[in-house]
Structure formats: C-alpha cells, structure tokens
Amino acid sequence: MESAVLKSTQFRREREPSWRELEDLLEKLRKGSPRSLTPQELTRLPTLYRGALSSLSVARSISLDQSLLAYLESLANRAYFQIYGPRKGFFAVASAFVRRGFPAAVRELARPILLAILLSVIAAFAGYFLCMNNAEWYYTLMPGSAAQGRMPTSTAAELRAVLYDHDTAPGDMLSAFASFLFVHNAGIGIVCFALGFAFGLPTALLLIQNGLMLGAFVALYVSHGLGIEIGGWLIIHGSTELLAIMLAGGAGFALARAILFPGGKTRLGALAETGRTAGQVALGCVLMFCVAGMLEGYARQWVVTLWARYAIGGLMLAFWAFYFLQPLPPAPDDESQ
C-alpha cells in the first residue's frame, strides 16, 4: 500500500507542473478566446494536451489511485473540448441551420418528400370528390372531434361565421377550432416522421388520412357556396402548416427507405446516416409549425378581407419556394478553401 502511495506521489511530482500549466491555459481560453493566448502558448497547448493524455495512459497502466485518474480524465476532457470542440455559439449554430442546414436537408430528401406531397394531394382530391358526390362520406372521413359541429346539415350562415367571426373574445369557438387544427396538424407531422422506421406504412396512412380529411372539409364549404372563402381561410396558415406535414412525412419515408434499401451499407449504418438528414428536416418542421401557429393565432383570425388572406398565403408560399430553392451559402468546409 505504501509503495503504491509513493509511486503515485512521485508520478505526480514529476508531471504536475505541466498539468498546472495546461490548466492555466484552459482557464484563459474559458474566460476569453484563442486570441487571449500568445503564439507561444497556442503552440504549447497541443503539446501539453498530449502530455496529459500520456500521463493518463501511464496512470491507468500502473493502477495509480482513483483520485489522480479522475483528475487526469477531467483535465484531458476539458483540453479536448477547448482544442477540438466547436467554436460556434448557439446563435451561430442556429443561424447556420436556418440559412443552410434545413434547406440543404430538404433538397437531399427531395424524392421521399415528393412522394409525401403526391400522397397528400391525391388523398385530398379523393376526399373532396367522394364528399361532393355523396355527403354521407363526410361523416366517415371527418371524425367528430375534427368536425367541431360543422356538418353537411349546417347552414351556409353557420359555416361562414367560422370564417369571419373575429369580434368574439378569445376562447370562443373560432379560437378553439383554430387551436385544434394546429395541435392536430403539428401532431400528425411529428408522428409521420417518428413512425418512418416502421417501413413507412404508418407515415403513408397518416398522410392519406390527413389528405382525406382536408378534402372532405373543403368539400363541405364548397357544397355551401363558400369555396373561395374556405380557400382564403386555409391558405394563410396552410401554406406553411400543410407543407411542414408533407416535409415531415418525407423525412419519415427517408427513414423507411434506409431500412428497406440500405444499398451497400448495413441497415443500421444507412439508418444512422439518413437519420441525421431526416432529423434536420424534422427540426425545421418544428420551426415551420411555430410560424404556422403564429399565422393561425393572429393573421387568420384578424385578417378578414378575402384578398388579404390570399395575399398573405401566397406570400408565404413564395417565401418557402424561394427559401428551399435559392442557391445555398457555402458549407463551412467550402468557406475555408
């Protein structure tokens, strides 16, 4: 026991000055930036880091006391993150994601996203024509919680009131219905992505169901002579919210594709690689749902002029088209070249 203590003490005495020097440099970096170090100190830092790693390796091999091992592990970890860790702060990372990460991920998953859009559009048209030909289909396609009392038996005046009644207090029927739609659509989008690993089948079913409900809802208003009005009511937030659902569905399909068709990679490896890109799309969809929530909570309920509703929705569509199709800024690796 005494021999081990002596060995540990001698080991510390011989190498501790370099550890202290490394600690001092790390503290300077923590309080400032690499510019706070002199050129000599910057040159010295990697050498001291490698020395700490060597000390840790030796300490482990000769089984020195646990307190010394814990100290050296902590020192080595701190040095690693200061030397090799990311230099960008939260806002820089968020800015890079919004400017390049999200649109680049959407472009990379263009095919599965187009599949999600195609399924949603076909389902919406199917729901519309089914309900226009037979109003009874509305009760099948639109669950009671989603209908919120809006049925084929409702009068045109009752349906119009939902679209233009903006003078009532918060918490009224209009606010409750708008909140329901946002929560429902956001939930659909998130689940579409999350269930992509189940070979994409739940994702496809959810997209089809959502499209059928949308088509049935539009058919209800068209059958009462309110087609243009319901278009204006939906486009303000739908141009963002429905697009986000389709993007999330495309991300789910990308996960399914990685599992079903991994190519030359293992399924786990293909899923991990695709999952990083799909995860970026899903994160971007969360931001889009937040934007849609603000449009739904304010613009749609307080902008009652029909042309203004279409103008806002059209501008949002144009914005998203430009955002996803514009030339991307160079990647960080490209900037350094």
pLDDT tens, position by position, 14-36: 888 888 888 888 888 777 666 67
* Selection from 11-25, 167-181, 247-261, 284-298 with the highest mean pLDDT: 247-261
Residue 195: inside a domain, yes or no?
A: yes
Q: So what's the pLDDT on residue 306?
A: 87
Residue 337: inside a domain, yes or no?
A: no
Distance set, CA 184 to CA 51, 123, 246, 304, 311 (Å):
57, 17, 14, 24, 25
Q: For a pLDDT cut of 90, what percent of the chain falls above it?
A: 39
Residue pLDDT, tens place only, 168-194: 444 454 455 556 556 767 788 888 998
Query: What value does the mean pLDDT of the chain take?
Result: 83
Residues 76 and 138 grouped into a single domain: no
Residues 107 and 235 grouped into a single domain: yes
Burial of 311 (0-12, 13-18, 19+ CB in 10 A): middle
Note whether 131 and 137 are within 8 A (CB). yes
pLDDT-derived band at 258, boundaries 50, 70, 90: very high
Q: Which amino acid is at 97?
A: F
Residue 334: inside a domain, yes or no?
A: no
> Considering only CA atoms, which of 64, 85, 49 is closest in space to residue 13?
64
Q: So what's the pLDDT on residue 170?
A: 41
pLDDT-derived band at 336, boundaries 50, 70, 90: very low
If one compares 247 and 297, the residue with the highest pLDDT of the two is 247
Residues 164 and 244 grouped into a single domain: yes
Residue 333: inside a domain, yes or no?
A: no
Residue 321: inside a domain, yes or no?
A: yes
- Quick one: how far is CA 120 from the chain centroid? 20
Which of 57, 84, 111 is the C-terminal boundary of a domain? 84
Residues 51 and 123 grouped into a single domain: no
Residue 13: inside a domain, yes or no?
A: yes
Q: So what's the pLDDT on residue 295?
A: 84
Which of 84, 110, 125 is the C-terminal boundary of a domain? 84
Radius of gyration of the chain (CA): 29
Residues 162 and 43 grouped into a single domain: no
If one compares 180 and 205, the residue with the highest pLDDT of the two is 205
Q: Which two tokens stand for residue 329?
A: 């800024």
Q: What is the C-alpha to C-alpha distance for residues 287 and 277, in angstroms, rounded to an integer?
A: 16
- How many structural domains does the chain have? 2
Asked if the model's pLDDT at residue 150 lies above 60, the reply is yes
Residues 56 and 126 grouped into a single domain: no
Residues 10 and 78 grouped into a single domain: yes
Residues 195 and 69 grouped into a single domain: no
Which of 65, 84, 103 is the C-terminal boundary of a domain? 84
Q: So what's the pLDDT on residue 71?
A: 83
In this prediction, residues 198-227 reach a mean pLDDT of 94
Relative orientation angle of helices 173-194 and 156-164, to the nearest 10 degrees: 80
Mapping DSSP to helix (H, G, I), strand (E, B) and coil, where does residue 170 land? coil
Q: So what's the pLDDT on residue 263?
A: 84
Domain that holds residue 63: 2-84
Q: Which two tokens stand for residue 31?
A: 């309080």
pTM above 0.75, yes or no: no
Residues 186 and 280 grouped into a single domain: yes
